[in-house]
Amino acid sequence: MINFLLVAMLQLSSSSIPIAINTGSGEGSSYGLDDYAAGIGITIEIAPGVEMPVINNGACFFPNKEDPRETVATTKWIDGGRGLDTAYSYNNQVVVGKAIAAASPAVRKELFQTTKVPGGRNASYALQIVKADIAMLGVKTVDLVLMHSPGKGGPGMAKRILDTYAGLEQALDEGLTRAIGVSNFKVVHLNVLKGAKLKHKPSVNQCFFAVGNHNDAAVALGKTMDITYAAYSPLGPFCEPVGNCSKPVLVDPTVKAITKKHNVSSAEVAMRWIVQQGHAIVTASAVAAYDVEDITGIFKFGLTADEMAKLTAFNSTAAGTVAIKTDDVVGETRASRAAGDTAGVAMDQRVTHSAGSRTGS
């Protein structure tokens, strides 16, 4: 089937910025706003014939192979979502795999599965980890394998990066994955790959990326290498315990002013800013069940060029350390928005921070 490209103006305002997204298969497909809200068919092509969902859920909040809450959370997510982000270091592939196994054949066929393996390993070891990871998930192949981090710096860093990456290339050659990439790679790490004679280029660089916290140099270099950027922790840094967050993006007056104009939550503004740049996002929840609808409202509106510029220029570090409640971090409910209460905050922790915020690099 041929995917067609739709440049979607997601807001009627003439000053809105369009985002190029794939919204269906075949010229006869017709996806409207209801489909956007359901998270159906919205993808980014990361490699020839490989379409990655714009929204992905990170299975990282219950890093225990015996914790059934991850099965519940994953089951809830794949009821409507399609992108599932996992990692070998999360140590919960078995319980995530149970949710995948319990899904209908149709859902399993549409599921896009990402996993990550540790960096700083030799090629043989990296390949074996990929195989072990896939086996624990209970699947034969995944869609995307990332090097979770570049590993430690210093002498020998470049060799370690290339050795691990060679293992990922072998996994791709053996049909264990449809695409490969990296995570937490900065300019210095990307330059290692750019200067090497790779058999397969990296398709994705998944990094911490949020309003007030973004590595624009790494994004720019990645574009020259035809690498798709995927943003984890799209709402800002995760605080454990919640409170005393040093970068309270979601309660900043600049962000709140934009939410009032569009009658959406701060979380939706923060994530819309990311996807409107053409990036994917990887979210996660600290609660065992939440709806895909809670975050896919980002496809129902668009930010103006002026709003995009203000959010890009936002310096969250200048906000200082501000104690905020859990509910403040996660934004407003759909009910409060419907009532016009865009200043209210409570999404019951259903939309929070993303994969990688606990594991780091």
pLDDT in tens, 144-173: 999 999 988 889 999 999 999 999 999 999
pLDDT of res. 360: 32
331 assigned to some structural domain: no
pLDDT of res. 293: 58
pLDDT of res. 59: 78
pLDDT of res. 205: 98
213 assigned to some structural domain: yes
Structural domain total, the chain: 1
Summarize the confidence of residues 178-191 as an average pLDDT.
97
Specify burial of residue 175 (Cβ count, 10 A radius: 0-12, 13-18, 19+): exposed
Q: What is the pLDDT of residues 107-122, one digit of tens each?
A: 888 899 999 999 999 9
Q: Does 33 have pLDDT greater than 80?
A: no
CATH code of 31's domain: 3.20.20.100
Mean pLDDT taken over the chain:
73
310 assigned to some structural domain: no
> Reduced to 3 DSSP states, what percent helix, strand and coil does the chain have, rounded to the nearest 5?
40, 20, 45
325 assigned to some structural domain: no
Summarize the confidence of residues 278-287 as an average pLDDT.
79
Three-state DSSP class for residue 187: helix
What whole-number percentage of the chain has pLDDT above 90? 42
Q: Does 127 have pLDDT greater than 90?
A: yes
243 assigned to some structural domain: no
Q: Does 18 have pLDDT greater than 80?
A: no
Summarize the confidence of residues 132-147 as an average pLDDT.
96
Q: How far is CA 292 from CA 76, 196, 269, in A?
A: 8, 40, 16
312 assigned to some structural domain: no
pLDDT of res. 347: 25
Residue 63 · residue 90 · CB < 8 Å: yes
340 assigned to some structural domain: no
Q: Does 332 have pLDDT greater than 50?
A: no
344 assigned to some structural domain: no
The domain in which residue 134 lies consists of: 3-238+279-285
Q: pLDDT band at 17, cuts 50/70/90? A: very low
